[in-house]
Structure 1
């Protein structure tokens, strides 16, 4: 049986070849309306499939937000299955943004849903919530490692509410966020060229030099570029020595230029160029 290539290695190759940009697929009702589409299954299909068809051969990563498909019930999940399959067939990696987190057999079932090659929702990586304790993620960690997939663990999110949990100080003096980063560092120890177990770290958070982001030795999924206010030029200041491991995520900043495929491609290309320029100027 062939051992699958780890997600971290596949991601590094994709970022080196295509640039590190991640494009979210977030079918908000408002975006469907902006495209002149109805907020129904037909609109959802047109939105998701057009985005994939326009960009799958040129962006490194897609990040579909599961909730915006799930709101249509089983038919929406069927569209999500097709979106994932078409994106991967087109050459892009897929990070399923589902932020799953639970314990025991329930976490194992979530892991099997997204990280088992036999599942119709099989993705290259999954976002997960560790706030039932990092150890609760073990079924997902183990299955991801077995199948060459990855995880992105919520650590330093950009929403203001996250601070009450993530910045809380534990008995040993470390913050919850730093503890999560430490767990990821242990998961990725010795991995080359990049570990498969990354963190979600908001691009809007400013200087994070007090955290050992480079020590994680894994990818850092960075939402907040575009509509949330961060720019590619902010990345070196936020991520410092870890900036080369950042996967900047853009959703509305690209998606609002649809439904024209050329508009989507041009917007993605502009963001990719700006990210490349910021990384070229970074001192690491």
Structure 2
């Protein structure tokens, strides 16, 4: 049986550092690489990135939308590349941001099944339809050793319109974090008002054998951390480093040094292409800075 995602992520971070590189083949980037904005250009881009980075970074995060926009041939590119990325040792986190109910969410969760044509290690999901809407994907993740990262406190400018809204005594963002904490902590009941979390406050704060498989997405470019992540028990995906304005100093200011943070860089690494050596060098620079 496949080891739980949290355990595999902790092992990958220990061996390779915490860097996650986003694979975002948008049209301007394909053009910058001298590639056509079609499935052939997409395939060439993806092959170069996977071949250059899958053997050295902990996580690769393909953005599904950039493959879907090319139709079935675009998805075929992803179907071909992801097994190669995983075989080279990288974990694949599908940036899909899916969220629905019942059988539809069950179908989205199938990405975490080992027999799925686009099988991945983890995926991003949206909680807007409520905690119960994600339960089919949670169940699939537990059954097959997969992981989920739930959008919680993102750093796009108007995210607070929804995420700061109150649900009882807590912000919506905090409810999301507390829900994920509950998934990582069997027997700890999430309620409103929030129960005392002293018993779980230090649980799996760092990467290690007990790191949970359910994480949250919290932007690296937030001005202040306005959610309580203590005792989350799982990883924090922190997008926004590099071209989006986030720095390693921002990560440490927001999260300190004692949390299981997976920092994400996309444009700052991909802009170094199409030369594979330059891509590796860019990723290595970020890994060194994050490990410093």
TM range (shorter): over 0.9
User: 1:201-240 deviations in whole A, cap 9, x for unaligned?
Assistant: 00000331x4221321111001000111001121111113
The match for 2:219 is: 202
The match for 2:181 is: 185
Unmatched runs of 5 consecutive residues or more in structure 1: 278-284
User: 1:226-262 deviations in whole A, cap 9, x for unaligned?
Assistant: 11100112111111365x3110000010001001001
Q: Which one of 250, 255, 267 corresponds to residue 239 of structure 1?
A: 255
Q: By how many angstroms is 1:271 displaced?
A: 0.7
Residues of 2 paired with 1:91 and 1:170: CA distance?
41
Q: By how many angstroms is 1:82 displaced?
A: 1.3
Q: After TM superposition, list the pairs within 5 Å mapping 1:22-41 onto structure 2.
A: 22-41=20-39
Residues of 2 paired with 1:233 and 1:161: CA distance?
23
User: 1:146-186 deviations in whole A, cap 9, x for unaligned?
Assistant: 00000000000111222111111112x10011011111111
Residues of 1 paired with 2:123 and 2:93: CA distance?
5
Residues of 2 paired with 1:238 and 1:30: CA distance?
32
Q: After TM superposition, list the pairs within 5 Å mapping 1:52-63 onto structure 2.
A: 52-63=50-61
- The answer as to 2:119 corresponding to 1:122 is yes
The match for 1:261 is: 276
Residues of 2 paired with 1:4 and 1:75: CA distance?
30
TM normalised by structure 1 equals: 0.93
Q: Which one of 208, 215, 218 corresponds to residue 231 of structure 2?
A: 215
The match for 2:162 is: 165
The match for 1:225 is: 241
The two structures, once aligned, show a CA RMSD in angstroms of: 1.2
What number of residue pairs does the alignment pair up?
Answer: 271
The match for 1:282 is: none
Q: Which one of 130, 133, 136 corresponds to residue 133 of structure 2?
A: 136
Residues of 2 paired with 1:81 and 1:165: CA distance?
34
Question: Which has the higher mean CA deviation after the structures are superposed, 182-191 or 25-34?
Answer: 182-191
Contact 1:223 / 1:248 at 8 angstroms: preserved in 2? yes
The match for 2:197 is: none
Residues of 1 paired with 2:262 and 2:48: CA distance?
23
The match for 2:191 is: none
The match for 2:77 is: 79
